[in-house]
């Protein structure tokens, strides 16, 4: 990583630590503490790429702009936003932040500071996840574990169908959502060196479009998916000890990417549609009960993508835009 980028990120992450005085996480997030106008912060109508958890504070957004020669990292904490410029990221790039604060931008290659490292999956990955210094990347049926500092391949595996999402468990095992060639979605488990471990778990019997995969501190796997004939309905599925435990159907997911955040024993998704106001919805993982909502757009709908918690679990950041007669704008809502 170049000294310039390292210094910039150091400032960004220092601000992340000092931008809020949050302490313990609430039982359920229920209040919008503040918003960050990302367009105004950057000074341009931005294209939102990703929102990454930050191991040292509030999440960081990766945004670009049409025709721009640079992209931006935007700290999504309360208070004045902190913005840093980075080389232009490819549309659709994903942002990951390493334990030491290094930003990784993953597109057709892995960009770490000024270094550009090739990826061993034959094109831009369709699923990525960072576990300490191991970057997991997947494209179609190919899954690889890569050293995030050098790009060296540590392990590879082949899945029976298209890998849509990957994550790691508290003990370092790898879990992946995979489209079943015979229909439906299955959850596969691998050892840290990508050897298959156990039988597939059927998450959805037929159809289904996965949107997110998370694992709790206790090892519960949580998947979010679109289901239904037109793939317009949402669903949360938890997997515990190799079997499906809880299934929660969600109405009003039309205008969201149905991203997912998990804090403690609660999952959070944004529901929004023409017939449903934009709301952050809390769901108790064990019971499937909806335990709270937070209105995001003053009773109107909006389009929402990513959700990520702060490092200490005291706030959530939701990125999206509300319906506005003056035109859409990209906003980060900080919720506690």
Domains of the chain are 3-118+208-335 (2.120.10)
pLDDT tens figures, 17-59 = 444 434 455 688 999 999 999 999 999 999 999 999 999 899 9
Please state, for a pLDDT cut of 90, what percent of the chain lies above it.
Answer: 74
Mean pLDDT of the chain: 89
Q: Looking at residue 26, what is its pLDDT?
A: 64
pLDDT of 325 strictly over 70:
yes
Top mean-pLDDT range of 51-55, 254-258, 270-274: 51-55
At 81, the pLDDT band (50, 70, 90 cuts) reads confident
At 83, the pLDDT band (50, 70, 90 cuts) reads very high
At 12, the pLDDT band (50, 70, 90 cuts) reads very low
Single pTM value for the model: 0.90
Q: Looking at residue 329, what is its pLDDT?
A: 85
Please state, for a pLDDT cut of 70, what percent of the chain lies above it.
Answer: 91
At 15, the pLDDT band (50, 70, 90 cuts) reads very low
Torsion sign (Cα): 121, 126, 131, 132: positive
| E runs forming strands in 169-313 | 174-179, 185-190, 201-204, 209-215, 221-227, 233-240, 243-250, 261-263, 266-273, 276-284, 290-295, 302-309
Between CA 314 and CA 51 the distance in angstroms is 17
What are the start-end ranges of the H helices in the chain?
Answer: 3-18, 38-42
Return the ∠ at Cα 56 (arms to 51 and 58), rounded to 5°: 40
């Amino acid at each position: 990583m170049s000294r310039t980028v390292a210094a910039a990120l150091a400032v960004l992450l220092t601000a992340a630590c000092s931008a809020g005085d949050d302490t313990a996480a609430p039982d359920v997030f229920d209040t919008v503490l503040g918003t960050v106008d990302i367009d105004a912060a950057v000074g341009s109508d931005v294209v939102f790429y990703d929102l990454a958890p930050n191991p040292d504070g509030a999440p960081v957004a990766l945004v670009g702009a049409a025709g721009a020669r640079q992209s931006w990292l935007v700290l999504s904490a309360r208070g004045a936003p902190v913005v840093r410029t980075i080389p232009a990221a490819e549309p659709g790039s994903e942002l990951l932040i390493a334990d030491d604060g290094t930003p990784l931008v993953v597109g057709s290659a892995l960009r770490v500071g000024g270094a550009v490292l090739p990826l061993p999956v034959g094109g831009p990955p369709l699923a990525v996840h960072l576990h300490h210094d191991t970057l997991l990347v997947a494209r179609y049926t190919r899954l690889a574990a890569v050293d995030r500092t050098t790009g060296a391949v540590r392990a590879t595996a082949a899945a029976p169908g298209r890998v849509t999402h990957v994550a790691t468990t508290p003990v370092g095992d790898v879990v992946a959502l995979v489209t079943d060639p015979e229909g439906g979605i299955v959850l596969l488990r691998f050892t840290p060196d990508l050897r298959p471990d156990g039988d597939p778990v059927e998450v959805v019997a037929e159809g289904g479009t996965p949107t997110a995969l998370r694992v709790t501190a206790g090892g519960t796997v949580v998947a979010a998916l679109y289901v239904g004939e037109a793939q317009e309905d949402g669903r949360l599925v938890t997997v515990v000890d190799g079997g499906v435990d809880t299934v929660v159907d969600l109405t009003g997911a039309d205008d969201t990417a149905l991203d997912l955040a998990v804090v403690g024993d609660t999952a959070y998704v944004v529901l929004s549609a023409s017939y449903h106001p934009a709301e952050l919805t809390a769901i108790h993982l064990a019971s499937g009960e909806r335990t709270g909502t937070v209105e995001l757009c003053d009773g109107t709908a909006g389009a929402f993508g990513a959700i990520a918690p702060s490092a200490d679990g005291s706030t959530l950041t939701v990125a999206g835009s509300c319906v506005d007669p003056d035109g859409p704008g990209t906003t980060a809502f900080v919720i506690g």
